[in-house]
Amino acid sequence: MARINDVGGVQGFGPIDTTDDTEPFHADWEARVVGLLNALRAQGVFNTNEFREAIESMPPAEYLAASYYERWFTAICTLLERKGVLAPGELDEPTEQAEPDDRVR
């Protein structure tokens, strides 16, 4: 069964933008997601195949609405929950902002 990311031969997505974009990241958070991915893989928390499968198993509407690095971040969060690093829904809970003196240095 094909997943939403397998769009080979599917029409209706419009033309592909082939403009050469020399910027690897368009926001600081995107670079941080790459760093987080690399650190977690280096620590053996998950591997590339697990990461790819987590992206490909996103619900179709969520997958299509997400940017490239949003998909990566979603996959990382999914895997951290699957592996027990985070409790299910832990990232959904609001956190308190630390006062400047309370920050870890």
Annotate 26-80 with DSSP letters as a single string: SSHHHHHHHHHHHHHHHTTSS-HHHHHHHHHTS-HHHHHHS-HHHHHHHHHHHHH
Reading the chain (105 residues) residue by residue, the pLDDT tens digits are 555 655 555 567 677 777 888 888 999 999 999 999 999 999 999 999 999 999 999 999 999 999 999 999 999 999 999 999 999 888 887 766 555 555 444
**Residue 80 has what pLDDT?**
97
**Residue 103 has what pLDDT?**
44
In the chain, the number of structural domains is 1
Structural domain boundaries enclosing 37: 28-87
Say if residue 93 is exposed, middle or buried (CB neighbours under 10 Å; 0-12, 13-18, 19+): exposed
Query: Is residue 51 assigned to a domain?
Result: yes
**Residue 12 has what pLDDT?**
75
CATH number of the domain to which 69 belongs: 1.10.472.20
Query: Is residue 49 assigned to a domain?
Result: yes
